[in-house]
Every structure is written in structure tokens, then in C-alpha cells.
Amino acid sequence: MATELAGSGGRSAHVLSNAGSADPAAFGSVVADLERTRQPFAQARTLPGAVYTSEEIFRREQRGLMAHHWLCVGRAADLPAAGDYFLKEIASDSIIVVRASDGQIRAFYNVCRHRGSKLLDAPRGRGLARVLCPYHSWSYNLDGTLHTAPQMGENFRKAESALVPVRLGVHLGFIFLNLDEAAEPLERHFADLPDLTRFRMGELRCGKRIEYDVQANWKLICENYSECYHCAANHPQLIRISEHIARGEREQEIGKSFNGGPMRMRDGVETMSMSGKTTLPTIPGLTHDDRRYVHYYVIYPNMLLSPHPDYVLTHTAWPIAPDRTHIVCEWLFTEEAVRQKDFDPGDVVEFWDVTNRQDWALCERAQAGIASRGFRQGPYQPTEDCVHTFDRWYADRLAPLL
């Protein structure tokens, strides 16, 4: 697997953007502006500028939104054997995700139960036998139980010093974490997701992974993904092989945890690639429509999922700062495809890498403009219904945090 690293009215945005603490008057303005976003589509206005620029709102997002939602952090296939692990930071907390000796995937805070030392530093590893604290040599089994605590005395109760677990669930082969101990189970949370089992995502293998550092707010990434109003002017390679479906010709898919919509591949096009053709095997069992349409789902808050006839494309957008997002993009292919001696995903990888970089440049331009005193909330274009659905979902959850 290859990995690369690539590089409201204006007043409320400026009052909050550099504030160490919230200005109550400014927050009042933001709440009022969020109400404009929550209006019915025809009357609604885009999110206020402060939600893209404010350090204080960013902090509240981290504590009140990211720490209380199911977040996709990777795939079960990333941890093929006992002792394989990776670290993930969520809302400033470091989490260990590890496959234990019994084959189960578990997650724990990366914190020793003795004096709070950070346990692991390497972002991922293989063949871990135990988790060892470098400070006082406490060690933990892969199921989180305490293995050794040197010189703690005969009255010490090891059972009371296990690693603190983090809620974990696996859906379609993807690993999700939730820092909220009271959150509803993953199965119930995703009960209304479209049935995508036919794409066999849990069986697919990663053929390419690229990571991007984008100088724009994470919500701009999600919004950009949700519309193709910008495509004709900015994605010639995409418009050549697929076409947007007018709002009246399609039905937007909406649930409590997602929204999305399709694009149709043009006649004679086999897949989304630079050539529009494919030499890769199609995912078995797909319908005729699955071979003609590509769906684009935003799984709230920050996962972008796009099934194709011969691969599945995923993005996860991780907020780093109000104006910075780290994006992990993966191309998932069938086992048959990856095992081919001459397996070469270059045609599809180039297509989406070019498209991604075009999109990130647009998001960075939007970030720069939103930071201006001249920014005002704007209207939604008729095909931006998915953007409005995402923005309304976000506004509903941010307002109580202000």
C-alpha cells in the first residue's frame, strides 16, 4: 500500500476569529445567522463566516461535536494480525486502536493508569506483544488489562488499573470510534444508511492512499464534495465522463447520519478514470444502475464515501485548525484486482488526485474569502440541496454549543 503526503456578516467572523474567549454579543450574532441556514431550502442562507474562522468555535466543535460522534478512523483490514495497531487523535485525545490476541479490535486512550504518561508514540506498528509505559514500566495486555506494575506491593489491585476503553464499532469493514460513553450504539446510529453491502467493502483492499494538507476549514471540504455546481468550470476531466443529474430527475438520499446523491456516467464510460475505461474487475454482484451511477455520500460529520463499479473511494477530513484540514484518501479494490501481477490503479488514482487538488485549491480560495470583512451569507443554488442538508445538520448541532 503506497502512501503520499501532499501538501455572516463579516463582523461576527472577525470578532471571533482571533478571540481566546467568546464574545457573547458575537455568539448571539452567530446563533441568529445559523437560524438563516436552518430555514427551508429556498429561503436559507449559507453558514456564517465565524464557523469557518473562529478559534473558539473550533474548540467547541472539537469538544462538543467531534468528541460525541461516531468517526471513521480506518478499516479492519488495516489491522490484519494480533498486535497490529495505529494511533488516532480525536478532539486532542490520542487513541490506540489495536487487534488483540483474541482477534478482536479494541480501542483505548493512550494514557497510562499510573501517572498519566503517554504510552505509544509511533503512529502505527505491527507485532506488538504488550503496551509498555516508558515512564515506570507498567505494561498492558492487548485487551487493555494490566499485565505488570513493578513494585506496587501485595495489596495493589491490578484489575482496577486497566486501560480506559473507547467505544468502537465496525461497519462495512470500517472502524468507527466514539469518545462519548453515552452515545447510541453504532448499529442504531447507522440504521438508516443505504444498504451498501453489495459493494463488499469489508472484502476490498487498499490499493492506494494519499494524504493531503489543505489550508481550509473541514466543512468547506464536505460542502465542496456535496455539489457539482462548480464542476463545469473546474473539473474538465470529470465533466467529460460524468454528468450531474438535475434535482427534479433524482431523489436526494437523507438520513440522520448522512446525505448524498448520484452522478451518472456518460454513455460508453465504464468508470471514473482519466480514460473513462477500466481494466480492473468489477465488484461482483452489482446491478445495472450500480454500473451507470456513482453515489457520493457524506457520513456525518467528516467521512466522504463514494462507491464505483470497480472500486470504492473514501475521504476522511480531520480538522487541525479553523483554516487547516488533514485529508486521508483511499482507493479500495477487489482482492482479485490487487492480486493481479500487473495491477496498476494509476488511471483511477490520477483521475481523483487531479480532481482532489482542483477541489482543495477551490476550498482554500473560499477560506480566504470567508475570512474577509466583506463576506456575507449567500443563497444556495438549486443543485446545492446536499450542501444545505449538511449545513443544516451542522447548524442544528453547533447552536446548542454557543
At 189 the three-state DSSP class reads helix
pLDDT for position 252: 82
Show the cell assigned to 140.
498492558
Phi, psi for residue 157 in degrees, rounded to 5: -105, 100
CATH topology of domain 200-401: Naphthalene 1,2-dioxygenase Alpha Subunit; Chain A, domain 1 (3.90.380)
Separation in Å, CA 357 to CA 159, 221, 238? 50, 12, 13
CA distance 325 to 183: 25
Q: Closest Cα partner for 388 from 223, 250, 253, 262?
A: 223
Show the cell assigned to 88.
488516532
Each domain of the chain, given as residue ranges in start order, spans: 77-187, 200-401
Angle among Cα 258, 355, 239 to the nearest 5 degrees reads 90
16, 22 contact by CB (below 8 A): yes
According to DSSP, residue 57 is labeled: H
CATH topology of domain 77-187: Rieske Iron-sulfur Protein (2.102.10)
pLDDT for position 7: 47
Show the cell assigned to 291.
454500473
Phi, psi for residue 78 in degrees, rounded to 5: -70, -15
CA distance 398 to 269: 41
- pTM for this predicted structure: 0.93
pLDDT for position 154: 86
Q: Mean pLDDT in runs of 10 for the chain (402 residues)?
A: 48 48 70 97 97 97 97 98 98 98 98 98 97 98 97 92 98 98 95 95 97 98 97 96 72 91 94 96 93 95 97 98 98 96 96 98 98 97 96 97 94
Question: In sequence order, what DSSP letters do the residues of 323-369 get, joined into one string?
Answer: TEEEEEEEEEE-HHHHHSTT---HHHHHHHHHHHHHHHHHHHHHHHH
CA distance 282 to 346: 16
383, 389 contact by CB (below 8 A): no
Show the cell assigned to 108.
483505548
pLDDT for position 245: 73
pLDDT for position 244: 77
Same CATH topology for 77-187 and 200-401: the answer is no
CA distance 350 to 201: 22
